[in-house]
Amino acid sequence: MKAILLTCSLLFLSGLCSAQPALKYVVYDFDGLDLGATDLPDGDYKNFDLLYHVAANPLAASDVLGDRVLQLDLNWSGGTGEFGKGITKYVELNTAADRFNFYFLNPLSNYASAVVDVAIKEDDNKNGVFETALDDKWLKSVTIPRSASWQLISIPLSTFTDVGTGGNGIFDAGYTNDNGKIFTISLTFHKAAAASGPESYYADMLCFSEGALPTGSSVLSLPPKAATDHCLLGSYAYRTPADSVPPEVEALFPPGNKLRYINIFMPFAYSGTTASALPGSSVQRLMNNGYRPIITWEMMYTSYAPLDPVQPRLNSILNGSFDSYLDAFANQVKTYSDTVIMRLFHEFDGNWYPWSVEENGQDPNNLILAFRYVVNRFNARGANNVLWMWSPNSAPAPSASYNWFVDAYPGDAYVDLVATSVYNHPLSGSPPWRSFRSLYADCYYNLRKHFPSKPIFIAESGGRERYAGELASSQTKAEWICAMSKDLESYFSKTRALIFLNVNKEHDWRINSSFAAKEALRTCIWQDAFFKEITTDLAGMEEESGRKVFPNPFTNELTVMMAEKPSPGDRVLVYDLAGKLVLELKAEQTLMIHADFPPGFYIIELQRENFSERIKVLKQ
């Protein structure tokens, strides 16, 4: 019972995504890249008088910029130099609210203010080529004075001017209505009249934000988290039995924290093509020891390649081919004494699994229908001790209009938790190094914006070690872990779980892959209060706003308390897990609900004019 209460508390503590300033998409964050590097990840380019390389931060390192930045050298032989990045992907932008930002240092040793044209090209027809007659080019000129310190340049998108002759003349990049992709972003420098010789500039953290870029007490400090923000830990180990994972990980660290979640991967079949794999007694043992199991349920047969034609696709769910297997799985799950998190059709916006949108007619509605089908099947069997997790990848593959994960959302009545996977980086060999911030920002923003009532988990995460041949001065896995910790407590502080893939697979993702990595996790995460359970009153659950719902579990009556006086239009709504509205009441500061409906899980929604909050409760 304690574990159920804590899970519900976690749901209510998820907070609400309001119109607060937010980091939206990181174009370039140079922290972690090799010193001296000129070949940057993902499509950099230069033109005319400009050369560039990754350099040490010429000023003191900060949590925002770190110790690596981009040095831009202008020889002014022709009077112009350009640095740019090719993107060619969907970035959901709102011209009225969003800004393009970058940090810039124009040292006092230079001759004059920097004159910069910031250009954003849109690929309106999505063909991967910028065509002057068919696409938009947006321009904003800024002048940046010399300074002894870093300056944050923040430009509202509404101030950009369309300087192209083609396109639709609307700054409308985004998945919504398949508006178009961002093609490139560039900074073009022009020689000032006062410049009498070469000059060097420094830039970092090129990004989009909703509203002003969030900062702390200074532009170089990270934004603060709320007092109640926290992020619990979890792990997955590539071994059996599954209940051996906690001691395997927890024994590496001193007492004072423990794992909360254990991620177990299960296919439909371990051999052959008959769906028969069922969870066993290890799930119950995890519960008995105070852990919350997550079953990542993979609709595939492990003895075949993931995209082999023999693998089932989503239509196999929808046509009833797996009904008996789904029922057997549900029957097993409902025997457990506590809540199981079911992670269904994970990373569906990738192109590597048979249940992906790409593999199922490029139609996200097929994913929606199959997800709902499975949930309804479990509900029909009385398997109500389930929290359903919907988990896109942190980056789509491909970046196509049909593959926006938001369009594949099954609905609030079918999803309890939203999640993603974040890796640095699962490609083989020595793939490009990327900061956690750049990998997570876009996905986190969209999860929080579009599903504000749902807790956000990182269901899989890992960082690779450096390999022989990479520069000794490169950022290490240990440094990456500590930078991740700081970003989770600031830009991404509503993340409610961080679950490590503790396995040596494509790379050595293990948390103890090196002594330095283990020590970084100990000092920056394991012993950090942000990653520990918040003590709550088990008689009730309190969200940051002061609202309470108690007791939970309940029997005949349920109390809803609001810290502030409700407005006349406020309502309290009760839904069953099928999404059916079973009760609607006018909100009062203290409201007693007489629950004369059947035992099971219900969703309590506190509805106001501008937002709603939800919590899952259990009637015994």
pLDDT tens, position by position, 38-50: 999 888 999 999 9
pLDDT (0 to 100) of residue 540:
34
- Is 581 in contact with 573 (CB distance < 8 Å)? yes
Contact 27, 207 (CB under 8 A): yes
Please answer whether residues 166 and 123 qualify as being in contact, where contact means their C-beta atoms are separated by less than 8 angstroms: no
**Token pair in block for residue 595:** 């629950």
**Residue 244 clears pLDDT 90, i.e. is over it:** no
Beta bridge partners of 205: none
Going by C-beta distance under 8 Å and a sequence separation of 6 or more, which residues neighbour residue 293? Answer: 242, 261, 262, 264, 283, 286, 287, 340, 341
Q: What amino acid is encoded at 184 in this protein?
A: T
- Confidence (pLDDT) at 17: 36
Mean predicted lDDT score pLDDT of the chain: 89
> CB burial class (10 A; 0-12, 13-18, 19+) of residue 606?
buried
Torsion 126-128-134-136 (CA) sign:
positive
Give the per-residue pLDDT at 598. 81
Domains with residue ranges and CATH for the chain: 22-210 (2.60.120.260), 229-531 (3.20.20.80), 541-619 (2.60.40.3080)
Which tokens in the block code for residue 155? 């430009």
- C-alpha dist (Å) from residue 188 to 40, 85, 207, 458: 18, 12, 17, 38
> Nearest CA to 490 among 433, 440, 541?
440
Q: Is the pLDDT of residue 536 over 50?
A: no
The DSSP line for 473-486 is: TSPPHHHHHHHHHH
C-alpha distances in angstroms, 38 versus 41, 54, 72, 85, 120?
A: 10, 7, 11, 13, 22
Q: What integer is the mean pLDDT of 214-230?
A: 93
Which helix (H) or strand (E) segment holds residue 329: the answer is helix 323-333
Instruction: At 231, give phi and psi (nearest 5°).
Output: -145, 110
Q: Give strand pairing partners of 501.
A: 236
Among the residue ranges 201-215, 314-328, 532-546, the one predicted with the least confidence is: 532-546
User: Which of the two residues, 600 and 398, has the higher pLDDT score?
Assistant: 398
Question: CA torsion sign, 238 to 241 to 243 to 247?
Answer: negative
Flag whether pLDDT at 5 surpasses 80. no
Both structure tokens of 302: 């492990």
Q: Considering Cα of 403, then 405, then 409, then 415, what sign does the dihedral take?
A: positive
pLDDT digits (tens, 9 = 90+) for 111-168: 999 999 999 999 999 999 999 899 999 999 999 999 999 999 999 999 999 998 888 9
Question: What is the percentage of the chain residues whose pLDDT exceeds 90?
Answer: 73
pLDDT tens digits along 506-531: 899 899 999 999 999 999 999 999 99
Range scoring the smallest mean pLDDT among 61-75, 97-111, 248-262:
248-262
**Nearest alpha carbon to residue 122 among 161, 177, 179, 176:** 179
d(Cα 121, Cα 182) in Å, to the nearest integer? 6
CA distances from 62 to 66, 435, 483 (A): 5, 15, 11
Q: Is 302 left (phi over 0), alpha (psi -120 to 50) or beta?
A: alpha
Nearest CA among 606, 546, 539, 532 for reference residue 572? 606
Q: Which residues contact 61 (CB under 8 A, 6 or more apart)?
A: 67
Residue 614 has pLDDT above 80, yes or no: no
Contact 574, 528 (CB under 8 A): no
> Is the per-residue pLDDT at 534 higher than 80?
no
Residue 151: count of CB within 10 angstroms of its CB: 16
Distance CA(48)–CA(189), nearest Å, equals 10
What's the pTM?
A: 0.84
pLDDT tens readout for residues 153-195:
999 999 999 998 888 999 999 999 999 999 999 999 999 999 9
Residue 535: phi and psi, rounded to 5, are -70, 125
Distances (CA, A) of 378 to 347, 374, 385, 614: 22, 6, 10, 22
On whether the CB atoms of residues 584 and 572 are closer than 8 A, the answer is: yes
